[in-house]
Amino acid sequence: MRVEKFEGRQEIIKTEYTERDLKAELNFYLSDKFIQDLFLLDEISLEEYRKIRRENIKKFKPILSELMI
C-alpha cells in the first residue's frame, strides 16, 4: 500500500440551484415515494419498479442522478 501526503487545497465550487432544479428534485422524490409504495403493496413488480424509476430519473434529472443509475 502506498501512502501519499496531500499537498495544497482544492477549490470548492459552490453550485447555485434554480427554482426549476428544486422543483424537479421534489417531483422526483414524490414520484419515487409513490412507486415505492406501489411496490411495497405488491401492486407492481421489482422489474416494473426499476423501469419506472429509471424513466423518472431521465425525466426529472435529480441532482445526484449520475449516482442513481
- Give pLDDT, residue 10: 67
- Give pLDDT, residue 8: 67
Q: How far apart are CA 56 and CA 69, in angstroms?
A: 11
Taking the domains of the chain in order of start, what are their residue ranges? Answer: 19-68
Among 67, 68, 65, smallest CA distance to 21 is for 65
Q: How far apart are CA 27 and CA 59, in angstroms?
A: 10
pTM for this entry: 0.68
- Checking if the pLDDT of 60 tops 90, the result is no
CB 28 within 8 A of CB 57: yes
Predicted confidence (pLDDT) per residue in 10-29, tens digit:
666 667 888 988 898 999 99
